Amino acid sequence: MTRAPEMNDSPRSQPADDWLDALLRADGRDHRADYLDDDGFTARVAAALPASPAALPAWRKPAVAALWAAGGIGVAFALPGAASDAAHEIIRAILAQRVSAGGIGTALVVLLASAWTAVAVVLRGD
- Given a contact cutoff of 8 angstroms between Cβ atoms, the answer to whether 12 and 18 are in contact is yes
Q: Which residues of 74-101 are buried (b: 16+ CB within 10 A; e: fewer)?
A: eeeeeeeeeeeeeeeeeeeeeeeeeeee
pTM of the model: 0.29
> How far apart are alpha carbons 25 and 17 in whole angstroms?
13
Reported as a single tens digit per residue, the pLDDT across 93-122 is 878 878 788 888 899 999 999 999 999 888
SS (H, E, C) the chain: CCCCCCHHHCHHHCHHHCHHHHHHHHHHHHHCCCCCCCCCHHHHHHHHCCCCCCCCCCCHHHHHHHHHHHHHHHHHHHCHHHHHHHHHHHHHHHHCCCCCHHHHHHHHHHHHHHHHHHHHHHHCCC
How many of the other CB atoms lie within 10 Å of CB of 15?
Answer: 6
**Residue range 42-56: mean pLDDT, rounded:** 83
Question: Which pLDDT band, with edges at 50, 70 and 90, does 63 fall under?
Answer: very high
